[in-house]
Chains A and B, each alone.
Chain A
């Protein structure tokens, strides 16, 4: 069974600073990788995904993540964060051919002025 590790439970950062949220997964087979975002008192929303093709994927609001097969990582980055990026971010993995997502424990991103 695959697992997802998000080592950082909280990441405080000042506005306009860069940020990286780390995600590592364990799977010996092909995987699909995702980042979801959860704003306070809401459900999760898909932020970006890697299914195949280019290993660098981007969201419409400036986040990007790179699939690194050799390091089994899918870290999320943003060069300059905004207050509105304050939320909890979940990394998730799905084994190719399976039908369930496995979520990490989440990273709370807190952007401060």
Chain B
């Protein structure tokens, strides 16, 4: 059981380039999230999805896009990379229905992105 898998683990981008961070989960979770983690800042929510075909913005969505065409996959797209997007990105998933919220997010191991 792989859980939440993120690729790539490391990437260096030049300013203005674009790329997609891949995230897939095999737990049949309906909720998926993308966070970025910066030193001393904790985790900030970029985008989240409550199910296939449904996405919504988090706290810091500017410069990013997402899609959720299947339950398993939730890719994060960076358009026109900027140095401010240098960060560690975490994908997470959880399962929740009315009356069964557990609050447990399952995280991937992270993708470290550097924009130069």
Contacts and interface: CB of A to CB of B under 8 A. Distances in A.
A6 B33 CA distance: 23
A78 interface: no
Interface in B56-109: 58, 90, 92, 96, 101-105, 107-109
B31 A34 contact: no
Interface in A29-55: 32, 34, 36, 41-46, 49, 51
Contact of A32 (B33, B92, B101, B107): B101
B4 A43 contact: yes
Contacts of A100: 33, 45, 48, 58
Of the four ranges (under 10, 10 to 19, 20 to 34, 35 or more), the interface on chain A belongs to: 20 to 34
Interface string A87-113: 000100010000111111110000000
Interface of A: 6, 9, 32, 34, 36, 41-46, 49, 51, 90, 94, 99-106
10 pairs of A and B residues whose beta carbons are closest in the complex: A43-B107, A105-B42, A103-B43, A103-B42, A46-B104, A44-B107, A49-B103, A32-B103, A43-B109, A106-B42
19 contacts: A6-B42, A9-B40, A32-B101, A34-B103, A41-B109, A42-B110, A43-B4, A43-B90, A43-B109, A44-B107, A46-B105, A90-B42, A99-B48, A99-B50, A100-B33, A101-B103, A103-B43, A105-B41, A105-B42
